[in-house]
Chains A and B, each alone.
Chain A
């Protein structure tokens, strides 16, 4: 389980690098972020929530049954406040989304 960073999209702002609780993401000479220690990712998704251009995808490793689904979040305008939209790009090309209102508590 780890992340991948699309260097084509990355704008080198460094926010993912700043926030990673393991300091696992570095910025290369071309001012692009890359994950230097992919096996050391905890899967907290902090970087994904920080990225302003949605360049980072989170996935489950094959060793724990991952099947290639790539996940990221985007902020979208809700009726009263911003909503966090989780976007799941599945291996078969289909896409699923789950919207979470940060102002709403978990029910369970």
Chain B
């Protein structure tokens, strides 16, 4: 394995939606830095490191067919904050939601300028879908962002390089370690500031279809929670991992349902044809809850009622799904179209994802994490649910501006990556490559982990229910699996990546279990049912459940909610 040392000013880990936009923003702010920071030589250098290829990596690989966070005419950012707050039953950071809501329209206009097609009426105004959404053709949204990154000055992109550890000294980040999946190279990258934008975590729980189609899931199966895990291990504070996201999806294809519900007004109906959504509520989690409940009570399966839609609507739906989830269109072509048969729906396995719920890094309003010099944006950042695409872009922008300001004001980190730290990381990789024995594989341990989480930490199998006793079993099982990861073997660096991804998921699983156990209430029916505490407890749990790893133990920190209308939050160091 070759060893390459790189040095940059700003390192961006993950070239998805938030990471790409952070790079574009930082590049356009770089000139100012050069002027302000006299005698510091050339312009700010920006390095994006991506484990796949930024052209199609992350959540939007297949595309997206609406922008779901937009301030439509007559509405204000405050309305959006209120909506997200209500949907999460109060457990949000208003300062974070405000700061993205104020940018939704600005980043949308920028995307349109970069080439995104947005539907307009005859007066040139965007056509809205509901109160907060606009209609687009987002099939090529990732290639558009990637092209903008390619044009941005001073931005270098390293594709197919997997970052697996931060370099942190005295709670100050000064770089990261990774390896090239295709070029047999180890990378030690030194940086003045780092933005983590690695997305959320899929694959913790047993998926809907664990066989051949195990990766036909809602969230990208390649988002393993790497950013969470690296932060957790280095003592970063995390928030709200107990607010898992469970998506209501078209059965089997796990394709989105919003286009049917909002686009053609399809109601959720049970097997008797009764509309049940009004019975349980229409928040994101309640829509899942109602579907699970109807099935448990013998009135399943449940459907979105599409029978009777017009031929024009049907044709448009077939196209819309090709632009974001082609599997569903194939399904309709093979099995009959939505005007003839209602679309069966089901809940997915739980995901940890800060773009939909509030799980992730505990950040201040500038998106600084509790590790100095480390900023978070997109699904990896907590506190601001319902951020969606435009929110991820907005957070990329905020994090980039903050990181550039940080670089401007600070001289480079005092610490550097020492030779023995490089040797240690290389030795760990080589241990997996040189190991010729051992019967476990990353794949088999991943399945064992998913089975344990499914059965004992509120997966699909239990209707998302769990008890303290079950969580204790889950914790033990995960620890047992973790102990077995050291003796894994790998034939090449792709397999080494699979080992690190498994380790990342196990780290995230332990935090999820600790958070689920700490919230002694049931606040979000559908996302989690705590059987020991089936009621909501506003007296003790209108709070953030946060955590930090201290001496190998997960320490839970209950924090008071930020004040109503609070616009700024600073870390108390």
Contact = CB atoms under 8 A, between A and B. Distances in A.
B317 A67 contact: no
Interface residues of A, number: 43
A6 interface: no
Contacts of A65: 252, 331, 334-335
A84 to B, nearest CB: 8
A29 B260 CA distance: 46
Interface string A32-59: 0000001111111110000000000011
Given A42-B215, A42-B221, A64-B253, A106 B119 contact: yes
Closest 6 CB pairs of A and B: A108-B263, A105-B119, A44-B61, A46-B56, A64-B252, A44-B62
Contacts of B118: 105
B494 A23 contact: yes
Contact of A64 (B55, B209, B259, B318): B209
Contacts of B319: 98, 100, 106
B182 A23 contact: yes
Given A21-B222, A22-B52, A98-B319, A61 B211 contact: yes
A26 to B, nearest CB: 9
A57 to B, nearest CB: 11
A87 B62 CA distance: 17
Given A18-B53, A102-B139, A108-B264, 13 more contacts: A21-B220, A42-B62, A59-B330, A60-B331, A61-B212, A61-B213, A65-B335, A66-B330, A67-B335, A86-B329, A88-B333, A102-B117, A107-B119
A20 interface: yes
Contacts of A106: 65-66, 119, 135-137, 259, 263, 316, 319-320, 323
A2 B323 CA distance: 18
18 contacts: A19-B55, A21-B220, A42-B61, A43-B215, A43-B327, A59-B330, A60-B253, A63-B212, A71-B330, A86-B326, A90-B333, A100-B322, A102-B117, A102-B137, A105-B117, A105-B118, A105-B137, A107-B320
A84 B57 CA distance: 21
B140 interface: yes
A1 B323 contact: no
Please report whether the interface of chain B is mostly helix, strand, loop or mixed according to DSSP: loop
A22 B320 contact: no
Nearest to B253: A64
Contacts of A42: 61-62, 215-217, 220-222
Interface string B110-147: 00000001110000000101000001110110000000
A43 B253 CA distance: 10
Q: Which of B56, B119, B253, B317 has the most CB of A within 10 A?
A: B56
B313 interface: yes
B495 to A, nearest CB: 10
Nearest to A107: B316
Nearest to A105: B119
Q: Which of B51, B139, B313 has the most CB of A within 10 A?
A: B139
Contacts of B78: none
B222 A64 contact: no
Given A23-B52, A102-B140, A43 B216 contact: yes
B222 A22 contact: yes
